[in-house]
């Protein structure tokens, strides 16, 4: 069986590479199934952060048009990328898309399911589905406006045009731009984050995610409980004690 996804673990971080460079890492059902399975396995092994990238010159040029062309509506629904992308969005660890070259359509939607997008300066981002007579179908019409606002999302989706990394940075679609390797950049970004106590990071991510999908009052109530629960952890006592004793804390992740 052909393997489309390569995986590596380094310094407690999981690296996942989409490996189909001959078609600019276009995503078909087999790629998505393998991606989902390998990310699950990585997370079960206890990695503290996840970095997703593309092999070769590009992140991913979208869903595989050759596979989609003959599909019926029923096949499209049963082959949706949504379950995989929602699984990634709901992971408790910080997630990063490290983007080289094109991140288009389902490729950009994969990046949108991550917490952060780190782009090479050559990156081109877009949702060109409109040019094929369809719309983004794996979260693009939902996650993009939440991230960059209605008008900018409508501009990208209605025009199908690509934006470069500088534009993406100024719109808040990407979080870092680098002239060197975006995986390395994402890696140093991740390292800064995962030095912090694991349970506080999990709680922060969950509270932010809950808040985005609920009313302010519901979000505040969730936050208050999550905040209070952290006072049952070793790392809260240690963090505050170390501050008072003017020393470096020794966190244990519990
Ligand atoms: N699905 C299937 N195959 C794709 C693909 C996709 N989304 N994107 C690129 N490919 C294939 C091309 O068909 C080509 O295959 P070939 O060598 O067998 O002809 C190969 O990848 C290289 O692509 P090519 O178009 O020759 O490269 P380019 O540099 O001229 O253009 C893009 C790059 C990204 C602008 C162009 O490939 C493109 O528009 N791709 C489709 C993007 C898209 O609409 N994505 C959303 C899908 S819903």
H or E element in which residue 210 lies: helix 198-212
Please tell me the predicted confidence (pLDDT) of residue 160.
Answer: 98
Asked if residue 167 lies in contact with residue 146, where contact means CB atoms within 8 angstroms, the answer is: no
66 Cβ closer than 6 Å to some ligand 1 atom: yes
Instruction: Tell me the average pLDDT across 176-198.
Output: 98
Residue 191 has pLDDT above 80, yes or no: yes
Q: State in Å: Cα 66 to ligand 1 middle.
A: 10
Which residues are marked as active site? 109, 129
Tell me if residue 208 falls in helix, strand or coil: helix
Residue 199 has pLDDT above 80, yes or no: yes
User: Which residue shows structure tokens 């050559």?
Assistant: 122
φ and ψ of 15, to 5 deg: -115, 130
Rounded-to-integer distance, Cα 164 and Cα 4, Å? 27
Please tell me the predicted confidence (pLDDT) of residue 202.
Answer: 97
Please tell me the predicted confidence (pLDDT) of residue 213.
Answer: 87
Please tell me the predicted confidence (pLDDT) of residue 1.
Answer: 65
pLDDT, the chain, mean: 97
Q: State in Å: Cα 168 to ligand 1 middle.
A: 21
Q: What is the DSSP letter of 253?
A: -
- Please state the atom number of ligand 1 nearest to the C-alpha of residue 160: 44
**Predicted confidence (pLDDT) per residue in 53-68, tens digit:** 999 999 999 999 999 9
Please tell me the predicted confidence (pLDDT) of residue 230.
Answer: 98
Instruction: Tell me the average pLDDT across 124-151.
Output: 98
Instruction: Tell me the average pLDDT across 154-165.
Output: 98
Q: Calculate the alpha carbon distances from 146 to 3, 113, 180, 201 in Å.
A: 34, 12, 29, 22
- Please state the atom number of ligand 1 nearest to the C-alpha of residue 137: 48
**Predicted confidence (pLDDT) per residue in 93-130, tens digit:** 999 999 999 999 999 999 999 999 999 999 999 999 99
101 Cβ closer than 6 Å to some ligand 1 atom: no
| 250 Cβ contact list (under 8 Å, min separation 6) | 238, 242
Question: Nearest CA to 60 among 98, 97, 22, 104?
Answer: 104
49 Cβ closer than 6 Å to some ligand 1 atom: no
Q: State in Å: Cα 24 to ligand 1 middle.
A: 7
Please tell me the predicted confidence (pLDDT) of residue 118.
Answer: 98
Substitution candidate for ligand 1 out of 54, 65, 125, 137 with most atoms within 8 A of CB: 65
**Predicted confidence (pLDDT) per residue in 16-59, tens digit:** 999 999 999 999 999 999 999 999 999 999 999 999 999 999 99
Closest residue (by CA) to atom 11 of ligand 1? Answer: 23
- Which tokens belong to 235? 């790392």
Domains of the chain: 5-194 (3.90.226.10), 198-244 (1.10.12)
Report the Cα–Cα distance between both ends of the chain, in Å, rounded: 40
Give burial (CB, 10 Å; 0-12/13-18/19+) of 98.
Answer: buried
When pLDDT is cut at 50, 70 and 90, the band that residue 70 belongs to is: very high
Instruction: Tell me the average pLDDT across 136-161.
Output: 98
pTM > 0.85: yes or no: yes
For 149-199, the DSSP string reads: -HHHHHHHHHH---EEHHHHHHHTS-SEEESS-HHHHHHHHHHHHHTS-HH
23 Cβ closer than 6 Å to some ligand 1 atom: yes
Q: State in Å: Cα 61 to ligand 1 middle.
A: 6
61 Cβ closer than 6 Å to some ligand 1 atom: yes
125 Cβ closer than 6 Å to some ligand 1 atom: no
Question: Nearest CA to 138 among 159, 165, 110?
Answer: 110
Closest residue (by CA) to atom 4 of ligand 1? Answer: 23
Asked if residue 125 lies in contact with residue 157, where contact means CB atoms within 8 angstroms, the answer is: no
Please tell me the predicted confidence (pLDDT) of residue 2.
Answer: 72
Q: Calculate the alpha carbon distances from 23 to 63, 175, 217 in Å.
A: 10, 27, 47
Please tell me the predicted confidence (pLDDT) of residue 5.
Answer: 98
Q: What is the DSSP letter of 63?
A: B
């Amino acid at each position: 069986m052909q393997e489309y996804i390569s995986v590596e673990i380094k310094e407690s971080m999981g690296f996942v590479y989409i490996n189909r460079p001959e078609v600019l890492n276009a995503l078909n059902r087999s790629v998505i199934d393998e991606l989902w399975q390998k990310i699950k396995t990585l997370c079960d092994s206890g990695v503290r952060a996840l970095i997703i990238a593309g092999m070769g010159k590009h992140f991913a040029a979208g869903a595989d048009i050759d596979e989609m062309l003959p599909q019926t509506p029923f096949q499209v629904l049963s082959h949706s990328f949504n379950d995989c992308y929602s699984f990634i969005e709901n992971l408790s660890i910080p997630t990063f898309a490290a983007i080289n070259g094109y991140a288009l359509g389902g490729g950009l939607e994969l990046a949108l399911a991550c917490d952060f997008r780190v782009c090479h300066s050559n990156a081109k981002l877009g949702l060109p589905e409109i040019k094929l007579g369809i719309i983004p179908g794996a979260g693009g019409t939902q996650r993009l406006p939440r991230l960059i606002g209605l008008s900018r999302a409508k501009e990208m989706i209605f025009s199908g045009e690509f934006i470069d990394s500088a534009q993406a940075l100024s719109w808040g679609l990407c979080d870092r731009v680098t002239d060197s390797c975006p995986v390395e950049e994402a890696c140093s970004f991740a390292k800064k984050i995962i030095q912090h106590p694991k349970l506080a990071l999990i709680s922060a991510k969950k509270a932010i995610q809950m808040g985005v999908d609920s009313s302010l009052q519901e979000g505040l109530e969730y936050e208050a409980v999550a905040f209070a629960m952290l006072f049952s952890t070793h790392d809260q006592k240690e963090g505050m004690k170390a501050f008072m004793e003017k020393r470096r804390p020794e966190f244990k992740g519990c």
